[in-house]
Structure 1
């Protein structure tokens, strides 16, 4: 059973725990982190636009690339340790939601966390990236709450039907 786990900073522990709880027999677990390729580019562009080209050694885009790589590796290592069994780390660069869908092709399960307003039940608990992945995933999806789910009292009232 091939399971893809989309790891995002802040919510990844819940995804790893979900694999342990709901896919204990998975023999092929891929821990997936996406480094948004656009972020260091924004740093380079801002530096060139605002500060000119006089001090390329101070370009924040380079520093952002370095930090991105370190945090991705650290996050993948921490997730593998938490999972506690053999797994394959995969760090991809690009638009997160499209990379996740591409990697999920042929998988038996994709695990991801809600990335929107998690204070109440409902569609707003999914941000644009998770919504895209849920809508386009080519395999079954396990969508987890990063913390205990809000109570049923947060459900909106049923629509009133006027006759």
Structure 2
């Protein structure tokens, strides 16, 4: 069995715990982190727009790229330590939702966590990238709450039914 676990900054412990709990001992587990490509690009663009392209050594985009890589390495190392069994660590850069879907190709299970409104049940408990991944995953998905799930009383109520249209007047 091949399990891919999407590791993100705010929810990774729950994902790792779910992978450890639900994947058989002999499963191949991939811990996946995706760094958004637009973050360093925004820093490069801002620098070029303000100071021009004549000083590449002062471009903060390069520093942002380095910090993102160091952060991803540390996050994956922490996740691997928590998992406590052999795994592969994968770091990708790009459009997060598309990179996760691509990385899940060939997997038997994708584990990820809710990342939206975690105070109530419902569709808003998924952020846009997570919604895309759930909708497009090429394998079964295990979607976990990063902490205890909210009470069932938090399910949104459907809007009331509109009143029926008035009857047409009678004609002679």
TM range, normalised to the smaller chain? over 0.9
Aligned length: 163
- Contact 1:2–1:26 (CA under 8 A) maintained in structure 2: no
Q: CA deviation at 1:54?
A: 5.1
Where 1:70 maps in the other structure, the secondary structure is: helix
Q: Deviations over 1:26-76 (max 9, x none)?
A: 520000011112211111100110233454332110110110110011011
What's the CA shift for 1:152? 1.0
CA drift at 1:153: 1.5
Q: Which runs of 5+ in 2 are unaligned?
A: 165-172
Matched, 1:67 2:63: no
How far the C-alpha of 1:106 sits from its partner, in A, is: 1.3
5+ residue gaps in structure 1? none
Contact 1:30/1:89 (<8 A) preserved: yes
* Distance (Å, rounded) in 2 between the aligned partners of 1:123 and 1:69: 32
Displaced runs of 4+ in structure 1, greater than 6 A?
Answer: none
1:4-25 Cα distance to aligned partner (Å, 9 max, x none) = 0001111111100111222243
1:46 aligns with 2:60: no
1:127 corresponds in structure 2 to 127
Task: Tell me if structure 2 keeps the 8 A contact 1:3–1:26.
Answer: no
Q: Which has the larger radius of gyration?
A: 2
TM-score (normalizing by structure 1)? 0.93
